[in-house]
Chain A
Amino acid sequence: MIKQVAPAVEVTALRRVFAGGKGLRKRGPEHVALDGVDLVVDAGEVHGLLGPNGAGKTTLCKILSTVLLPSGGMAKVLGHDVVTHTAQVRTSMGIVFGGERGLYGRLTARQNLKFWGALHGLHGKQLRTRVDALLDRVGLRDRADDRVEAFSRGMKQRVHLARGMVGDPALLLLDEPTTGMDPVAAKDFRALVGELRAERRTVLITTHDMVEAEQVCDRVSLIDSGRILATESPNALSEWITRFERVDALVPPELVSRLRTLPGVGSVSTSDDGRTRFETTEEGVAAQLVRSLVEAGVTTVTTSKPSLEEVYLHVFGGNGMAVRR
Chain B
Amino acid sequence: MRTLLIGCWYQLLVLRRSPADLMALFVVPVNTTVFLAIMQHADRPDLAGHAVLAPGLMALWAISLVTCGELIDAERWGGTLEALVAVPARMLPLLTGRIVVVVTASLFAFVESYFVALVFFDVSISVPHLGVFVVSMLATGLAMACWAGVMASVFVLARSARIFQNALGFPFFVLGGVIVPVSYLPDWLRPLTNVVFLSWSSDLLRDALNPAPVQDFGFRLLVLLLLALAGGGLGAYLLSAVLRRVRSLGTLTYA
Chain A residues close to B by CB (< 8 Å): 16, 18-19, 59, 62, 65-69, 87, 90-91, 93, 95, 97, 99, 101-107, 111, 115-116, 118-121, 123, 147, 163, 167
Docked CA distance A264–B33 (Å)? 87
Whether B78 contacts A93 by the Cβ 8 Å rule is no
- A279 CA to B2 CA, complexed, in Å: 60
Contact check, B14 vs A106: say whether CB atoms are below 8 A apart.
Answer: yes
- Number of B residues whose C-beta is below 8 Å from A? 27
Contact in complex: A97, B79 (CB < 8 Å): yes
**Which residues from chain A contact B10 at a C-beta distance below 8 Å?**
115
- Give chain B residues whose Cβ lies under 8 Å from the Cβ of A115: 6, 10
Residues of B within 8 A of A107 (CB): 13-14, 17
Q: Is B86 a contact partner of A91 (Cβ separation < 8 A)?
A: no
Residue of A nearest to B79 (CB): A101
Contacts of A147 in B (CB 8 A): 17
- Cα(A147)–Cα(B82), bound, Å: 21
* Residues from chain B with Cβ under 8 Å of A95 in the complex: 83, 86
A69 to B94 Cα, complex, angstroms: 23
Contact (Cβ within 8 A) A120 B79? no
**Using Cβ atoms and an 8 Å threshold, which residues of chain A touch B183?**
none
Task: Tell me whether B80 and A103 are in contact (CB under 8 A).
Answer: yes
Residues of B within 8 A of A65 (CB): 82, 86
Whether B3 is near chain A, meaning CB under 8 Å from some CB there, is yes
Residue contact A116 to B88, C-beta cutoff 8 Å: no
Q: Is the beta-carbon distance between A106 and B86 smaller than 8 angstroms?
A: no
Q: Are A106 and B87 in contact (CB under 8 A)?
A: no
Binding site for A on B (CB under 8 A): 2-3, 6, 9-10, 13-14, 17-18, 78-80, 82-89, 94, 247-250, 252-253
CA distance A57 to B244 in the complex (A): 22
A123 vs B3: C-alpha distance in the bound complex, in angstroms? Answer: 11
With the chains together, A167 CA to B248 CA distance in Å? Answer: 26
Contacting residues, chain B, for A119 (C-beta < 8 A): 3, 6, 84, 87-89, 94
Which B residue's beta carbon lies closest to that of A17?
A: B250
User: Are A97 and B82 in contact, CB atoms less than 8 angstroms apart?
Assistant: yes
A97–B80 Cα distance when bound, in Å, is 10
CB < 8 Å: which of A93, A101, A111 contacts B86?
A: A93
Q: Are A102 and B80 in contact (CB-based, < 8 A)?
A: yes
In the complex, what residues of A have CB within 8 A of residue B9's CB?
118
CB-CB < 8 A to A101: which residues of B? 78-80, 253
Kindly report which residue of chain A lies nearest to residue B85, judged by CB atoms: A67
Asked if residues B88 and A91 are in contact (CB atoms below 8 Å), the reply is yes
Is the beta-carbon distance between A67 and B252 smaller than 8 angstroms?
yes
Whether the Cβ atoms of A116 and B87 lie closer than 8 Å is: yes
Which residue of chain B has the shortest Cβ distance to A89 in the bound complex? B86
Listed by A's residue number, 23 A-B pairs whose Cβ atoms lie within 8 Å are: A66-B85, A67-B82, A67-B252, A68-B247, A68-B250, A90-B86, A95-B86, A97-B79, A97-B82, A97-B83, A99-B79, A102-B78, A103-B78, A107-B13, A107-B17, A115-B10, A116-B83, A119-B84, A119-B88, A120-B89, A121-B89, A163-B83, A167-B88
> For B247, what are the chain A residues with a Cβ–Cβ distance below 8 Å?
66-69
A65 and B250 CA atoms in complex are apart in Å by: 13
A119 to B88, CA, bound (A): 7
Report which of B2, B14, B94, B250 forms a contact with A18, defined as CB distance below 8 A. B250
Q: Name the residue on A nearest B254 (C-beta).
A: A101
With contact pairs A111-B13, A115-B6 given, residues A121 and B88 touching in the complex (Cβ less than 8 Å)? yes
Of the candidates B17, B18, B79, the one whose C-beta lies within 8 Å of that of A102 is: B79
Contact residues in A for B86 (Cβ distance below 8 Å): 65-67, 90, 93, 95
